Structure 1
Amino acid sequence: MTTTAPPKRIFDPMMPRTGHYRPIPDTEDKALTAWLQGQFDEILSLSEAPPRCPHCGGGETVLATRAAHPKPVLPVFRCVACDVHFRRTTGTPLSRLKFHNLPQFIRLLSQQRPVTDAAAILGVKPVSVTRWIKRTRQWILQLDPSGHWDAKVRLGMEIRPDIVCPHCGVADQMHYRGFASDSGVRLCRCDACGRLCRLSGVLHDQGPGFVLEHRVVARPPSPRRKA
């Protein structure tokens, strides 16, 4: 029995991590944006056509409350069989999640940007963007367990090159450290020996056919954040 390898997330090593010294370019994956926008349009629809019950799966459902402002934002339905009220988002990771500027957030999801940059664009706190990314990715994987669409999400992911330090030979300790002022080439720093190297030189030493891959690392929580 053969197993299919999960889709790989592709990153550009020349992309700056912050926009302080050079602007972060738009790297939107329009295919993901179009697909995800369609999924959001469906689940956040104001249509009063009753869907199947998310609790018992039955189709004997009726409209209970029309969409209104401020509450309920989405129409509420009732299952006749189990007598439970629900919305289209009930039972999904999007339940009770409130987005701000959703179309712009969808366009940012596939871009190689830090959370702080996306938060500034959206006008919200970084913690909100982090929560939106986590819950949206959970929902995407429910819609597509193959991981094809989730592999296109890159927002808020910190990456490190999967290469060996050319100085001390230690693996899994390299991370990006800005760009060289004279040539603009990508610089890497080894946490084991503390020395810098140029990414172009490391890739040249790997020989032809080498494909640079990246590891996604989780940043440690800020000591200022309350537990």
Structure 2
Amino acid sequence: MTTTLTPKRVFDPMLPLIGHYRQIPDTEDKALTAWLEGQLDEILSLSEVPPRCPHCQGTETVLATRAAHPKPVIPVFRCLDCDVHFRRTTGTPLSGLKFRNLPLFIKLLSQQRPVNDAADALGVKAVTVARWIKRTRQWILELDPTGHWEAKVRLGMEIRPEIPCPRCGAVDRMHYRGFDADTGERRCRCDACGHYRRLSDLLHNQGPDFALEHRISERPPSSRRKS
């Protein structure tokens, strides 16, 4: 029996989570950006050639409304078989979304950045960016169920080291918390006991065969979280 491996989302623990004390570097995955640009060019196309109806899959479709500003932004079509109006985004997770500065959003999707940082760059609310990320990830998975491209999305996600606390022994409570003022090394803090340790010290105590793994979760927007 063939086992299908789930694509792994890769993060660098040495990158800061916020840019208050040190600049967040550009970690764009240009392959994802190029692929997404191609997919978005197609679904947001201003072409007036009627596509297949997303409701009944019929081909008897005609142009109903040309692209215009401010509404509709993309053409509206009509199905002659089921008498329904639709856009190319109808029936997809992108339906109803109003992107602002879409080219920049695409470049930010693959980067290790918090939602608040992206919201500042895009000039929108953090909750709006979080909604864009969620719906875009859903759309990417519909286009590529293997998860290859979706695994490259890192915007708005947080990693925590799967490593036990040397003081209290908690195995799932460590998280990254800033950098050492003297050496610049990554620091970790245990949520259970409040103990701080340098990541290098934690790794040294695990032995030469230890492989650091991370828990990955969506990081909710917040202006009070530290790096």
TM range (shorter): over 0.9
Per-residue CA deviations over 1:140-172 (Å, capped at 9, x if unaligned) read: 011111111111000011221111112222211
Residues 30, 221 of structure 1: alpha-carbon distance in 2 compared, 3 angstrom cutoff: closer
Q: What is the TM-score with the length of structure 2 in the denominator?
A: 0.93
Q: Aligned AA for 1:117?
A: D
Q: Which deviates more from structure 2 when the two are superposed, residues 140-149 or residues 165-174?
A: 165-174
Unaligned runs of 5+ in 1: 223-227
Partner SS for 2:205: helix
Task: Provide the rounded CA distance (Å) in 1 between the counterparts of 2:91 and 2:179.
Answer: 46
Partner of 1:126: 126
Task: Provide the rounded CA distance (Å) in 2 between the counterparts of 1:211 and 1:37.
Answer: 35
Q: Aligned AA for 1:128?
A: T
Q: Aligned AA for 1:50?
A: P
Residues 28, 50 of structure 1: alpha-carbon distance in 2 compared, 3 angstrom cutoff: same
Partner SS for 1:105: helix
Indicate whether 1:183 and 2:183 are aligned: yes
Unaligned runs of 5+ in 2: 223-227
Task: Provide the rounded CA distance (Å) in 1 between the counterparts of 2:145 and 2:191.
Answer: 36
Q: Shift of residue 17 of structure 1? A: 0.9
Partner of 2:164: 164
User: Which gives a bigger RCO, structure 1 or 2 (Cα 8 Å, sep 6+)?
Assistant: 2
Q: How many residues align?
A: 222
Q: Shift of residue 22 of structure 1? A: 0.3
Partner of 2:63: 63
Q: Which deviates more from structure 2 when the two are superposed, residues 200-209 or residues 117-126?
A: 200-209
Per-residue CA deviations over 1:161-200 (Å, capped at 9, x if unaligned) read: 1111122222111001100101010000111222111101
Residues 39, 213 of structure 1: alpha-carbon distance in 2 compared, 3 angstrom cutoff: same
Partner of 1:196: 196
Per-residue CA deviations over 1:191-213 (Å, capped at 9, x if unaligned) read: 12221111012122333343322
Q: Aligned AA for 1:16?
A: P
Q: Shift of residue 98 of structure 1? A: 0.1
Q: Which deviates more from structure 2 when the two are superposed, residues 109-118 or residues 74-83?
A: 74-83
Per-residue CA deviations over 1:91-117 (Å, capped at 9, x if unaligned) read: 001101000000000000000001111
Partner of 1:89: 89
